[in-house]
Amino acid sequence: MDEFILIFRHEDGGKVASPEQMQIWMKQTMDWIGGIAAQNKFVSGTGLPFDESNRVVWHNNVVTNGPFGDIKETIGGFVIVKAVSVEEAVEFAKGSPVLLGEGNSVEVRKIAKEEDHQ
Amino acid sequence: MKQQELIPHLFRTEYSKITAVLCRRFGFEHIEVAEDIASETFLAAMESWAYKGLPENPVAWLYTVAKNKAATFVNRNSIFQEHVAKEVVGTAEEYMEIDLSEKNITDSQLQMLFVICNPIIPVESQIGLSLRILCGFGIDEIADAFLTNKETVNKRLYRAREKLRQERVKIELPDGKEIESRIQSVLLTLYLLFSEGYYSESTDSVIRKGLCLEAMRLTYLLLENRQTNLPAVNALLALMCFQASRFDARLNVNNDFVLYHDQDENLWNHELINRGILFLNKAAIGKVLSKYHIEAGIAYWHTVKNDSIEKWKHILQLFNQLLVLQYSPIAALNRTYAFSKIYGNQAAIAEAEKLNLTTNHFYFTLLGELYQSVDTDRAKENFDRALFLAKSVSDKKIIQDKIDKLISDCE
């Protein structure tokens, strides 16, 4: 069994959602994650809030505010799952409520194992 | 209370107190001495009370005899004198002052709880030793609760005592910082002790209820001490109260299990439910959300008999959180049941089939239930599979009842 990271990419992270909307998303996300955890395939995960505490550090240590504005896509969070193949991980990703937003995507990447470094 | 009932009753309550106090005084390496003195005290009571009748204050009588026996033991046993008495108990006079005050009993039992619930011994041994030393259970009662024989229990307890002795475990409360981590294994043992009683296959309902009550008493012991009165402990006791509130509704007159939906809620113990709510409120401080908080939340919603979408939404969210924190097949199945209550059977069947718990009879029972309103042939197939996999008589009976009902509904 391998581990895969599912990275949520939001087309416009700068958009502000209402607290009610946030709560609906939260529940949808938890139902999705709960379904993965019920298969004993959930490893970990977190959301990355689009608030003020964001910076980007560039080459030569230039620091800019947030990843928003300049670049089109923003990472909104990630989960790490266990899966036997990238296909299975993709099936998990398809259930993500992030994909309800047009233009959003979930990037599926295999996580390097200890032995891959040797 | 008549004499023949009084001695077993006192044994249950006082044996563990005397053992805990003596053991704390002698050190864990002399646990057998403490247990022997406690046992001999009860033998003496049985002999003496049969002739002379009950003393005015039986508990005080027991404590006096235990103190005297402890003193005699120290005086007579020269090896004990040389190796233990000097370093641990001081002189014989000093030793006479064995403190059987309520406060010292509580402190000793609490410290013994931390000694026994030590992850260096297997968790079944922790439960067994707790039952023996802290709850005064007999070896045969422990064997009955674990559905095993006396020899196995004796061997298990012997190995556990040896291990704790070898590791020179000290009888003390861990200090402030350590308590938070050490209390995890204490809580797990108490949780399993309670579950052992609640879900045991043992047909002896007195023993089963006894295990639950002892688990609750020991959990309450933790709450009585400021250092161990932590949110997770309150959450665990809340969980136990909610579960125990259904104790009398879960069994019918034939001692068969009554499923939740068929229970007479008038038999639910509302005082325990209210106590549970109180503990759950006290648990709601601090930042740590333990699995006991989540399970207590789920158990709370089960004390609300009326089915509503809102209730099941809460339960589903709690199961989602529980599974993220710690996977278990039973939580996965219960989550799927809650899911069906909100999203319908068809969607829940798709969720259930992903679980792939194909050796678990509860899995096929759940699938059978979900298919009931969708496809009765598939429902029957799944119930049949569940019946094939189920081992206990009570599980088989529950599944057979479902099959019979399914067939009679089809006719």
Whether B92 and B44 map to the same domain: the answer is yes
Answer with the residue of higher pLDDT: A72 or B87. Answer: A72
Do A38 and B316 lie within an 8 Å CB cutoff? Answer: no
What total of structural domains would you count in chain B? 2
Whether B110 and B49 map to the same domain: the answer is no
Using the 3D structure, point to which of B100, B132, B164 is the last residue of a domain. Answer: B100
> What is the SS3 assignment for B309?
helix
Where would I find the H helices in A1-118? 19-37, 86-94
C-alpha–C-alpha distance, residues B279 and B232, integer Å: 10
- Tokens 């939740």: give the residue: B260
- Which amino acid type is present at position B172? E
C-alpha–C-alpha distance, residues B342 and B314, integer Å: 11
State mean pLDDT over A88-101.
94
pLDDT tens for chain B, 411 residues: list them: 566 677 778 888 899 999 999 998 888 888 888 999 999 999 999 899 888 888 999 999 999 999 989 888 777 766 666 666 555 655 555 555 788 888 999 999 999 999 999 989 998 899 999 989 988 888 888 888 777 899 999 999 999 999 999 988 888 888 888 888 889 889 999 998 898 888 876 667 777 888 899 999 999 999 999 999 999 999 999 999 999 998 888 877 777 777 787 888 888 999 999 999 999 999 999 888 999 999 999 999 999 988 899 999 999 999 999 999 999 999 999 999 999 999 999 999 999 999 989 999 999 999 999 999 999 999 999 999 999 999 888 889 889 999 999 988 877
State mean pLDDT over A100-112.
92
- Residue B123 in domain: yes
* Confidence at residue B88, expressed as pLDDT on a 0 to 100 scale: 60
- Using CA atoms of B219, B1, B207, B161 in order, give the dihedral in degrees to the nearest 10: 60
* Confidence at residue B75, expressed as pLDDT on a 0 to 100 scale: 73
Whether B3 and B89 map to the same domain: the answer is yes
Whether B16 and B85 map to the same domain: the answer is yes
Please state, as a whole number, how many other Cβ atoms lie within 10 Å of the Cβ of residue B100.
19
Where would I find the H helices in B27-57? 31-52
Chain B residues within 8 A of A33 when measuring between CB atoms: 320, 324
C-alpha–C-alpha distance, residues B397 and B258, integer Å: 11
B331 touches A: beta carbon within 8 Å: yes
Whether B82 and B168 map to the same domain: the answer is no
C-alpha–C-alpha distance, residues B55 and B104, integer Å: 24
Burial of B50 (0-12, 13-18, 19+ CB in 10 A): exposed
> What is the SS3 assignment for A28?
helix
* Confidence at residue B330, expressed as pLDDT on a 0 to 100 scale: 92
B317 touches A: beta carbon within 8 Å: yes
C-alpha–C-alpha distance, residues B123 and B102, integer Å: 29
- Residue B233 in domain: no
Residue in A30, A35, A37 closest to B317 by CB: A30
Using the 3D structure, point to which of B138, B170, B203 is the last residue of a domain. Answer: B203
C-beta of residue A76 within 8 angstroms of C-beta of residue A47? yes
- Tokens 């012991």: give the residue: B221
Whether B1 and B62 map to the same domain: the answer is yes
- Which amino acid type is present at position B66? A
ipTM of this model? Answer: 0.86
Q: Give the domain range for residue B156.
A: 103-203
Q: Which helix (H) or strand (E) segment is A8 a member of?
A: strand A2-10
B339 touches A: beta carbon within 8 Å: yes
Do A40 and B332 lie within an 8 Å CB cutoff? Answer: yes
DSSP state of A12: -
Bridge partners for A83 per DSSP: A2
Whether B30 and B85 map to the same domain: the answer is yes
Do B319 and A27 lie within an 8 Å CB cutoff? Answer: no
CA distance B337 to chain A (A): 12
Report the residue of A23, A39, A42, A94 to disrupt the B interface, i.e. the one with the largest count of B CBs within 10 Å: A39
> What is the SS3 assignment for A96?
coil
B400 touches A: beta carbon within 8 Å: no
CA distance A4 to chain B (A): 16
- CA proximity to A106, closest of A5, A19, A27, A12: A5
C-alpha–C-alpha distance, residues B47 and B7, integer Å: 11
B337 touches A: beta carbon within 8 Å: no
Whether B86 and B116 map to the same domain: the answer is no
Whether B109 and B87 map to the same domain: the answer is no
Using the 3D structure, point to which of B203, B221, B238 is the last residue of a domain. Answer: B203
Chain A residues within 8 A of B336 when measuring between CB atoms: 38
Whether B78 and B133 map to the same domain: the answer is no
Query: What length does chain B have?
Result: 411
Report the residue of B291, B320, B349 to disrupt the A interface, i.e. the one with the largest count of A CBs within 10 Å: B320
C-beta of residue A4 within 8 angstroms of C-beta of residue A85? no
Whether B66 and B108 map to the same domain: the answer is no
B326 touches A: beta carbon within 8 Å: no
Chain B residues within 8 A of A39 when measuring between CB atoms: 332, 354-356
Residue in B313, B339, B354 closest to A39 by CB: B354
List, in order of start, the domains of chain A with CATH numbers: 2-113 (3.30.70.1060)
B101 touches A: beta carbon within 8 Å: no
Q: How far is CA A108 from the centre of its chain?
A: 9
Whether B75 and B40 map to the same domain: the answer is yes
* Confidence at residue A18, expressed as pLDDT on a 0 to 100 scale: 81
CA distance A63 to chain B (A): 33
State mean pLDDT over A24-47.
94
Report the residue of B291, B321, B324 to disrupt the A interface, i.e. the one with the largest count of A CBs within 10 Å: B324
Q: Does the pLDDT of residue A51 top 90, yes or no?
A: no
C-beta of residue B236 within 8 angstroms of C-beta of residue B191? yes
